[in-house]
Amino acid sequence: MIKCLIWDLDETLWHGTLADDEEVSLRPGIREVLEQLDGRGILQSVASRNDHGLAMEKLEQLGVCRYFLYPQIGWGAKAEGIRRIASELNIGLDAIAFIDDNPFERYEAGTYLPELTVYSAHEALELVGYPEFRVGKPTREAGKRREMMLSRLERTTAEQRFTGTREDFLRSCFMELEVRTAREEDLDRAFELAARTNQFNNFAERMSEDVVCSYLESPTKGLYVAELKDRFGDHGIVGAAMLDYEEERLDIRLFCISCRIEGRGIGTAFLGTVLKLARQEYPAMLEAVCSYRSTGRNRPALMLLQLLGFARKEKQEHDSIYALPLPFAYCAPDWIVVKTEHFKQLEGRTLG
């Protein structure tokens, strides 16, 4: 699945070479491709050998500048620009694609970044039909993904300028996390999170839509979601957790949390609250267990479990089983106001 497409400019996004003639024009159909990918939640950027100021001015004139996050325009190697974009967006290179008309540039980028998916410029109008650019049913969060990334940039900038402690900065963000059981209208977003999340995801297996739906319909299963708001906007659903209830054991089949909100304590606040709500519903539960399968990129998911007090109970061929005795004590960070379905505030209170 491609999460970000990075465009070359000359003879790829537009006809002509800007350094030779400033009267370049968008290639026919390109605007529609930009709009469709943006609507699907696929982020876009630019890596181009050009004069930065002149190229940005031209993108503004053509009315497409808003689509591109962290554009890397200059005279350095495009592979380095692509690497910087990936780092800024916190997206793995295996989920990034690059499109360029020049075979040398494509070869260089693919050689230095072998995980990268590379396309020739003549494929530009066909990209929206490729399976790697199909993201399932559209969700509210997908349509706002570019805006959410801009909010993330605004938050990062505000944090860099803040003169107090990090905890003081996080308190100034006024984070409000609502944790509740999922509704039917949340299923597409829950499936999207399960399919897209690579870092805060405890399991390598991708759940089918039918499996996700079953967690809404079965009395022995539970599906929880988390919605986040802060001073920078409404981030929509940022977390999902799928639970199996087995007599005295609570099995966390899958939890996934958007990588956009890393480093704020949201993950532990969400999963800790989920465990509290589940045990309120099933007070006989004596243990919570969770399978963890390392993918090389999802170590943050393991760290989240350990922060909550999970310890490894069993090592299997591919997975490790982590367990937590119930009831357990957990205090959410005091910079997050956690609300449950009944809007009872749990800010800074002990869960258990």
Tens of pLDDT along 156-215? 777 777 878 888 888 888 899 999 999 988 888 888 888 777 777 787 566 777 888 888
- pLDDT confidence tier of residue 344, bands split at 50, 70 and 90: very low
Residue with tokens 């469709």: 36
A 10 A CB-CB count for 72 gives 20
Longest CA pairwise span in the chain (Å): 74
pLDDT of residue 143: 67
What residues have CB less than 8 Å from 127, skipping those under 6 apart? Answer: 5, 33, 37, 99, 119, 133
Identify the residue with better confidence: 343 or 263: 263
- Which amino acid type is present at position 163? T
Identify the residue with better confidence: 221 or 331: 221
Does residue 319 register a pLDDT over 60? Answer: yes
pLDDT of residue 348: 40
pLDDT of residue 206: 67
- pLDDT confidence tier of residue 352, bands split at 50, 70 and 90: very low
Q: How many CA atoms lie within 13 A of 17 on its CB side?
A: 5
Q: 25-26 and 14-15 as β-strands: parallel, antiparallel, unpaired?
A: antiparallel
pLDDT of residue 126: 95
What's the rounded mean pLDDT across residues 143-165?
A: 75
In this prediction, what percent of the chain has a pLDDT beyond 90?
Answer: 47
Q: Which helix (H) or strand (E) holds 269?
A: helix 266-281
Give dist(CA 140, CA 294) in Å, integer: 30
Beta bridge partners of 246: 249
- pLDDT confidence tier of residue 142, bands split at 50, 70 and 90: low
What average pLDDT does the chain have? 86
Query: Taking the model in full, what pTM does it have?
Result: 0.63
